[in-house]
Amino acid sequence: MFTLTYGAIVCQLIKELDSLDEVNNQLDKMGYNIGLRLIDEFLARSNLGRCRDIKETAEVITKVGFKMFFGVTANVANFNPKKQSFLIQLEDNPLIDFVELPPQYKDKLSYSNLLCGVIRGALEMVQMKVVCTIKKCPLKGDEITEIKVKLIEILTTEIPVGDE
Amino acid sequence: MISLGDDKRKRNQMNIVDRALPDRKSKKEVSLSAFSFLFSELVQYTHRRVTHIKELERRLADVGYSVGLRLLEYISWKEKVQKRETRVVRFLQFIVSTVWKMLFGKTATLEKSVDKKEQYMITEDTTLINTFISVPKDMQGLNCASLVGGIVEGMLDGADFPARVTTHSVTVEEQRFPKTVILIEFDEEVLERERQLGN
């Protein structure tokens, strides 16, 4: 049902928005909003403390986060300490069962773009600004789903005036 | 790098219709929160684009409709349904038991209207979908379960029982949350066929 609902949403977006870029954007935006709120539940349920570095963050996202919400585990690959980036590899992507992209969408539509937004939104809430892009997708003939996450900066906490 | 088996690679190259259905046992369930978050985004997105509550409900139902059409086929395969159901009551029973179990993990109640022959109702005290939704005061009457109504409509249409499906909330005394009623009104042709089939 989750998968089918997501599919129906994507269809609806394609129908209503003018270009596929806009669809991608909207999916990312929706994911971002989800991520902002999802992190709360995630922290409450996982009992995890603050991550020390990006490597640990990567591990937590893939081993705990994906497991908790999608019931699948992902792998971290190509960890790059200099560029502060890594790849998330998903063998099973729950969003793309029963899906086949028609040829005219193959190039431009990133179907699981929602996931990028989710990761971005969730990490922003723990003061990490990242950029996520889908690098590989089985719908486009690749073997696995691959999401690239790149750390832009660590946001500094600003304590609001009058707050201790 | 993770190495992938040959069959996996083959699977991805195969046409989607030829692939085996994803296996439920090997596959873990998506968490309820994941679905709720997604659903709430859908509601908000739709909300931004409509001016009227009725319209919002209708658009949710539209989304549900396309889910229903596909779901019917999927469940029919999964449950190894051999024959297509031709009788109204039996098909409705299939929906409230098999389909509801699969979607929400429990069954719903099926009722037949006393006044009107073409009306049936599916009722539920608490709808899973409404679990995390609080309806603001100024939008009274909104029921996000229209999505489910849409799913039912899609399934009925797919099984060749054209019908009009609407979703209502009914306030029950001594209950905190209104219960959800999905009202199904079948088209004349369905009733005609039902008469022909007799008992």
pLDDT per position as a tens digit, B18-50: 555 555 544 556 677 788 888 888 888 888 888
Chain A positions with Cβ closer than 8 Å to B: 1-9, 11-12, 16, 26, 30, 33-34, 37-38, 41, 68-72, 75, 77, 89, 91-92, 94, 97-100, 114, 138, 141-144
**How far is the alpha carbon of B192 from chain A, nearest alpha carbon, in Å?**
33
Residues of A in contact with B12 (CB under 8 A): 138, 141-143
Domain parsing of chain A, residue ranges: 1-154
Facing residues of B179 across strands?
Answer: B170
Q: Which of B117-121, B141-145, B161-165 has the lowest mean pLDDT?
A: B141-145
**How far is the alpha carbon of A52 from chain B, nearest alpha carbon, in Å?**
25
Question: Please, what are the domains in chain B?
Answer: 32-197 (3.30.1380.20)
The yes-or-no verdict on residue B1 having pLDDT over 50 is no
- The CA distance from B185 to B93, in Å, is 16
b/e B122-133 (16+ beta carbons within 10 angstroms → b): bbbeebbbbeeb
In B60-79, the residues whose Cβ lies within 8 Å of chain A are 62-64, 66-67, 70-71, 74
- The CA distance from A17 to B115, in Å, is 44
At B47 the pLDDT is: 82
B67 closest CA partner among B90, B38, B106, B24: B38
Q: What is the ipTM of this complex?
A: 0.77
DSSP 8-state code for residue A62: I
- The CA distance from A96 to A98, in Å, is 6
Contact A112, A145 (CB under 8 A): yes
Residues of A in contact with B31 (CB under 8 A): 68-71
- The CA distance from A12 to B66, in Å, is 10
- The CA distance from B163 to B186, in Å, is 4
Structure tokens at A70: 């999608």
Residues of A in contact with B41 (CB under 8 A): 30, 33-34
| Helices within chain A (DSSP H only) | 2-16, 20-46, 54-59, 66-70, 113-125
Residue percentage of chain B with pLDDT more than 90: 2
CB–CB contact A94 B2 (8 Å): no
pTM for the model stands at 0.76
**How far is the alpha carbon of B8 from chain A, nearest alpha carbon, in Å?**
8
Q: What is the mean pLDDT of chain A?
A: 82
> pLDDT tens-digit profile of B43-90?
888 888 888 888 888 888 888 888 888 888 888 887 777 777 788 888
CB–CB contact B1 A70 (8 Å): no
B164 closest CA partner among B65, B69, B77, B74: B65
Contact A46, B54 (CB under 8 A): no
Residues of A in contact with B27 (CB under 8 A): 71, 92
The yes-or-no verdict on residue B142 having pLDDT over 70 is no
Contact B167, B182 (CB under 8 A): yes
Phi, psi for A111 (deg, rounded to 5): -60, -45
Hunting for tokens 């369905």 — which residue is that? B190
CB–CB contact A5 B4 (8 Å): no
Q: Which CATH class is domain A1-154?
A: alpha beta
The yes-or-no verdict on residue A2 having pLDDT over 70 is yes
Better pLDDT: A122 or B17: A122
- The CA distance from A80 to A148, in Å, is 11
- The CA distance from A17 to A109, in Å, is 12
Residues in contact with B198: Cβ distance below 8 Å, sequence separation at least 6, in sequence order: none
The yes-or-no verdict on residue B97 having pLDDT over 50 is yes
Query: Does B37 contact A at CB distance below 8 Å?
Result: yes
> pLDDT tens-digit profile of A75-108?
888 887 777 888 888 877 777 777 777 777 777 7
- The CA distance from A21 to B154, in Å, is 29
Of these ranges, A109-113, B70-74, B148-152, the one predicted with the greatest mean pLDDT is B148-152
Q: Which of A23-37, B88-102, B172-186 has the lowest mean pLDDT?
A: B172-186
